[in-house]
Structure 1
Amino acid sequence: MSAEFDFVIVGGGTAGLVLAARLSEDANVQVLVVEAGENLTDDPRVKIPAMWPQLQGTECDWQFKSVPQNALGNRELVLPQGRLLGGSSALNAMNFVVSARDDLDAWANLGNPGWDWENFSKYLQRTYTLTDGPKTTNDGVIQTNIPEEETKWPQIWRDTLAGLGFPAENDPVSGDIQGAVMYPDAIDPKTKTRSYAGNAYLGLAQDRPNLSVWTGVTVDKILFDKPADDAIATGVQYTKDGETSTVVARKEVILSAGVFQSPKILELSGIGDAKLLSSLGIDVVVDNPYVGENLQHHPMSVLSFETIDDGEPGFDTIDALARQDPAAIAAATSAYTTAQRGPFSRTNCNTMAHLPFPNLNTAAGKHDAEALLQTTLPAPIQGGQKQPTAAYAVAATALAARTLTSPTAASGYYVFAPCRASSGPEGRNTFASSTSPSERHVTVAVLLARPLSRGSTHIVAAAADDSSHHQHHHPGRQVAVTIDPRCLNHSLDAEVLARHVRFVGSTLARSAPLAGRLRPVKDGGKRTPEGWERTVFGKEEKEEGAAALRLDETKRFLRETAVASTLYTSTCSMMPRDMGGVVDPALRVYGTRNLRVVDASIMPFITRGDTMATVYGIAEKAADDIRKGL
């Protein structure tokens, strides 16, 4: 006989464990979490903040890959996703970025009441406690702190942006950020270890007798009763150690499997494009061709600069750690274990900025933005397999237009890190070791905050098939999926990102005080990627036609070197069904009575920064809605 629970949560990740903790507060309900990965709460790669890059590409990463990307010279992209308790909150860079007010208001304006900043921000506040020196804000579950500045680099970043006319001080949880910002790390300030869904939210609930957590379990599909109207989810079919079984859900099944897995499980269960499902021999429960569509991400360009090493204190970088220099590792380990300080105690990438379209404060910049509005913005938004509806395309285009022309809206999301980084041809962004033991570098990564490109993810078989090149590479047979982010597919994305990249090379890196700490190219100073010193990293020429030529070169640079950040969203978007939605404002799947999706896949527009904090808030709101009977 099948085991029975009131709520069956598929995926013990960032959202799933929030739901588990909140729903199990009611001792009268039985809650089950089913997770494919294992519990690695005590693994140092999870616990020690600076070790996060070592988790990607391991057994606790689904290791998805994209199909070749046309706008990136047919390069494939590496798409990390957490395969362990805590999901991607256990292997990401721990940046706790509270959504922008206008991100959320844009969701609400699509026809999602209750998801505007005013309403949603109270759920965000439940998720975190923020420590900034002696000051504490909120009393939420995830411990976050703004790390103590042990080098002068964050101040150099702020001062450089201030000199260019941007705000240098921002409240990171205000929802209204322009200019430089020091974001919190999701790190416990007392222990300097990662605070994430797997230890913080699950830690609240793991001893409750009404909560069960099964690891090493793969969900094959959701089971339904299909009356004349909406389908009723009755449970799930799962596989553990090669054995297939079922579990009954008395009240609800909740999919929190992530942006690639949630649509996959919907399609395997008969919810998706009827043509695709029928071609694979899957019985159609709900015909909705938008399942797996509207995939969004932030395209990213990574620029590194060799710094001056003149012995002045305060300008250390973590390049020696990236090189795995024994002395540097010993010193960092000692600082971490004895005093919870040093580079191991932090993410080393919380120094950021949200910046508008470059040079909007000048006549030339305004003219440039207006020209893009007239010539490039009107290009149709292409879908992955299914074209977006006209209503959604109008809303997305209007949001892009506001972002392009408003000096207070951020079209660029900048991350500063004290080390050399590289976005290699394999599509993975890595901390790259320097060639010389004495070299020091800093990196500016530029992400496109509001992309118009839309991709898709879909199954290519109804059962496990080991032959697919694009399936994940960890042990165990899995149903293959095709993931096509269509990176930089919309021409406006490449135009805007190219201008932000040009701004870094020609303006930001040539402005005091940052410029004074960078070793000039003429003195042998290195730039990464190499070979672009005269164009992308070069000084802006004033000759007629030089700017246009430089822009063309920068677009070629993106084609050859750009990657995608690891933030993916929107494959089960929350919006009206006739607009292309998959879930309603209560996150219930259209055409079903008691099946919800609760994870980053429900965001109708990607947020302009990291998504983790928003996903925690989404899960808090969903738990509240479920308890209220919505």
Structure 2
Amino acid sequence: MFDYIIIGGGSAGCVLAARLSENPDVTVALLEAGPADSSVLIHCPAGLALIAKNGQANWKFDTVPQPGLNGRQGYQPRGKVLGGSSSVNAMIYARGHRADYDHWAAEGNPGWGYDEVLPYFKRAEHNERGADAFHGTGGPLNVMDLRSPNRFGPVFVEAGQQAGFAHNPDFNGAGQEGVGMFQVTHKNGERFSAAKAYLTPNRARPNLRVFTGAHTTRILLERKRAVGVEFHHEGEVKQLKAKREVLLCAGALQSPQILMLSGIGSHDHLLENGIATLHDLPGVGQNLHDHVDVVLVAEAPQAKDLFGLSLTGMVRAIKGIFEWRKLRSGMLTTNFAEAGGFIKSQASEPIPDLQLHFVIGKLVNHGRTTTFGHGYSCHVCLLRPRSRGSVRLDSKDPLAPPLIDPNFLGVRDDMDRLMRGFKLMRHILSQPALATIHGKELPASAAAQSDAQIEHFIRDHADTIYHPVGSCRMGNGPLDVVDARLCVRGIEALRVVDASIMPRIVGGNTNAPVIMIAEKAADMIKTAQY
């Protein structure tokens, strides 16, 4: 018996485990389906390239066929390891725009406006630049500038300025718009995941128990109250009971799946899968959306200090291995997406609606396709898509993956904005700063010149940039799943704490916002009356 059971050892779960176990009078269990975060590929920042190839620590989900992507199935990698996706992502620290959180609050979620969530961002953060009105020091999550940046990140920033975009040295400060270098969740040349920030320093607490290899199959309910969790562990089906609360932190794809497997969801959909309805909550799994993204890749054979598979590249990589092992510096401290920007697809936009990620290597098929030679890539993603999809059950088998349908480009406005973004990205890459290295677009994108060709290229190549949200939406409407305190509507002692609660996706990478959500949730849980 534990006071709190946390389902999912990703970013939110690690934060809750650390914060709730600060009180020695409560007991906390954390259940993570994946292994411990022991692989050197997790801790070495550049190891993410090999993680992408070998699928290590990854659920490796696929979407259902997407009409907006010409019938293709999209790829949905999610972390399956302590730290969750923060152990396998590109480590960019970005919060989104002030307006995102004010929009949450305006939709009936008191306490979630920007001025109210900023203290939680600051509390979580130790920014090596120092504290100011927008940043904190002394928090668990280390945030820093890249230790050994590649020389082409600043070249991209210069190209962005030549294209007419302002330089922004801090995307998380007073304003978001512009081009610049990203800050990253690193420390001393290593990845600093939520597990390393929150969980690792506190694993020895006697009131905290962490179960790895523990795949949750359902939440146990009694009279519409969550009382425990059932899970597969070490070849057995086990149960744990919770005295206070069950905290669901399995992410935007699996939190709704676990709710439905537990009998919480749309009655009709549960009936289709042979699951008894214990609580009819039709919004579970609805409102799924994600940042749809397309990548332009260029060959640059003369730029040998870009990442690439060649004899020169192999020699540099071997040198980088020794440098990282000895000094935790050098080329292997890269997060690959070192520079980028937040820009408007047209001047009339009130805030940036596009994000750019400049990658110092050729990125094809999420990095899973081996490409030879040197080059660079640039992503453009749509920050606030209007398209909405769903997460549904494929069967009542708790070990089967869910049916994931982000409905990419299901609304025409999404395509129009992404097309404008593609043209702006190409405009930046054509500026003199980058033109000096004679980059040449790969044929697939180079052939896309007319609007019709650009649209066809996008539908053939666009996919996620790994930010699914919204499937257990926070609010007070008929399809909302949790209230402003993240409590599941109609069920006692059960909260959802992860990206699935976002009413609308934030305009930026989602890891820092999820950590903020969990920091705020920890305070709400601590002050709850039992």
TM-score by length of 1: 0.80
Supply the distance in 1 between the matched residues of 2:80 and 2:274 (Cα, whole angstroms).
28
Distance in 1 separating the partners of 2:299 and 2:130 = 31
Which residue of 1 is the match for residue 497 of structure 2?
598
Give how far 1:351 is off: 0.5
Distance verdict in 2 for CA 1:234–1:431, change over 3 Å: closer
* Residue 412 of structure 2: aligned partner: 491
Q: In the aligned structure 2, how far is the partner of 1:116 from the partner of 1:134?
A: 21
SS class of match (2:381): strand
* 1:456 alignment partner, one of 364, 373, 390: 390
Q: Measure the CA separation in 1 of the matches of 2:484 and 2:121.
A: 17
2:267 equivalent to 1:271: no
Pick which of 129-138 and 565-574 moved more. Answer: 129-138
Correspondence for 1:317: 306
**CA 1:175–1:246 in structure 2 vs 1: closer, same or farther (change >3 Å)?**
farther
1:513 and 2:506 equivalent?
no
Check 1:26–1:176 CA distance in 2 against 1; reply closer, same or farther (3 A cut).
same
Q: For residue 604 of structure 1, give the secondary structure of its aligned residue in structure 2.
A: coil
Do residues 19 (structure 1) and 16 (structure 2) align? yes
Provide, for residues 80-118 of structure 1, a one-character-per-residue CA deviation record: whole Å limited to 9, x for no partner: 111111111111111111232111111111111111110
CA drift of 1:59 comes to 4.7
> SS at the partner of 1:15?
helix
The secondary structure found in structure 1 opposite 2:55 is coil
Choose the corresponding residue for 2:344, options 356, 363, 366: 356
CA distance in 2 between partners of 1:324 and 1:71 (Å): 40
Question: What secondary structure does 1:514 align onto?
Answer: helix
Unmatched segments (≥5 aa) in structure 2: none
Tell me whether 1:628 sits opposite 2:504 in the alignment: no
- Count of residue pairs brought into register by the alignment: 526
User: In the alignment, which residue of structure 2 is the partner of 1:212?
Assistant: 209
Match of 1:176 in 2: 175
Residues 148 and 334 of structure 2 are in contact (CA less than 8 Å); yes or no, is this contact kept in structure 1?
Answer: no
- Aligned equivalent of 1:194: 191
- Residues 309 and 9 of structure 1: is their aligned pair in 2 closer, same or farther, counting only changes over 3 Å? same
How far apart, CA to CA, are the structure 1 residues paired with 2:356 and 2:430? 16
Counterparts of 1:289 and 1:140 in 2: how far apart (Å)? 38
1:8 aligned to which of 5, 9, 15: 5
Q: Which runs of 5+ in 1 are unaligned?
A: 361-404, 424-428, 465-477, 520-525, 537-549
- Equivalent residues of 1:131, 1:137 under 8 A apart: no
1:155 deviates by: 2.3
For the residue of structure 2 that corresponds to 1:238, the secondary structure is strand
Bigger Rg over Cα: 1
State which drifts further: 600-609 or 155-164.
Answer: 155-164
- Alignment match of 1:76 (pick from 69, 73, 76): 73
Residue 66 of structure 1 aligns to a residue whose secondary structure is: strand
Within-5 A mapping of 1:117-516:
117-132=114-129, 138-148=137-147, 150-174=149-173, 176-188=175-187, 190=188, 192-226=189-223, 231-307=224-300, 309=302, 316-320=305-309, 325-358=313-346, 360=347, 405-406=348-349, 408-423=350-365, 429-430=366-367, 433-435=370-372, 439-464=373-398, 478-505=399-426, 507-516=427-436
Match of 1:563 in 2: 463
Deviations 1:540-560 (A, max 9, x none): xxxxxxxxxx11110011111
Report the CA distance between 1:534 and its aligned residue: 4.5
Cα distance in structure 2, aligned partners of 1:433 and 1:240: 36
Residue 615 (str. 1) matches residue 529 (str. 2): no
Q: Quote the offset at 1:434 in angstroms.
A: 4.2
The CA deviation string for residues 345-375 of structure 1, in whole angstroms up to 9 with x for no partner, is 12121301000014x2xxxxxxxxxxxxxxx
Q: Displacement of 1:512 after TM fit?
A: 2.5
* Alignment check: 8 A CA contact 2:12 2:515 kept: yes
Q: CA distance change for structure 1 residues 317 and 452 in 2, over 3 Å: closer, same or farther? A: same
TM-superposed CA distance for 1:134, in Å, is: 12
Aligned residue identity for 2:367: T
Identity among equivalent positions (%) equals: 31
- Matches of 1:219 and 1:606, distance apart in 2: 26
Shift of 1:410: 1.0
1:517 is displaced (CA, Å) by 2.8
Alpha-carbon spacing, 1:207–1:532, altered in 2? closer, same or farther (3 Å)? closer
Residues 79 and 85 in structure 2, CA contact (< 8 A), matched pair in contact too: yes
Q: Deviations over 1:524-551 (max 9, x none)?
A: xx322x2442534xxxxxxxxxxxxx11
Q: What is the alpha-carbon root mean square deviation over aligned residues? A: 2.1
Whole-Å separation in 1 of the counterparts to 2:289 and 2:125: 26
Tell me if the contact between 1:218 and 1:238 (Cα under 8 Å) persists in the aligned partners.
yes
Q: What CA deviation, in whole Å up to 9, does each residue of 1:360-419 have, x standing for no partner?
A: 2xxxxxxxxxxxxxxxxxxxxxxxxxxxxxxxxxxxxxxxxxxxx32x511110001121
CA deviations 1:121-177 (Å, max 9, x no partner) are 110112221224999952211112111464432222222222233210332321621
Residue by residue, what CA displacement relative to the aligned partner does 1:215-248 show, whole Å, maximum 9, x if unpaired?
111111111121xxxx211111222233222211
Separation in structure 1 between the aligned mates of residue 324 and residue 428 of structure 2, nearest angstrom: 33
CA distance in 2, matches of 1:268, 1:534: 47
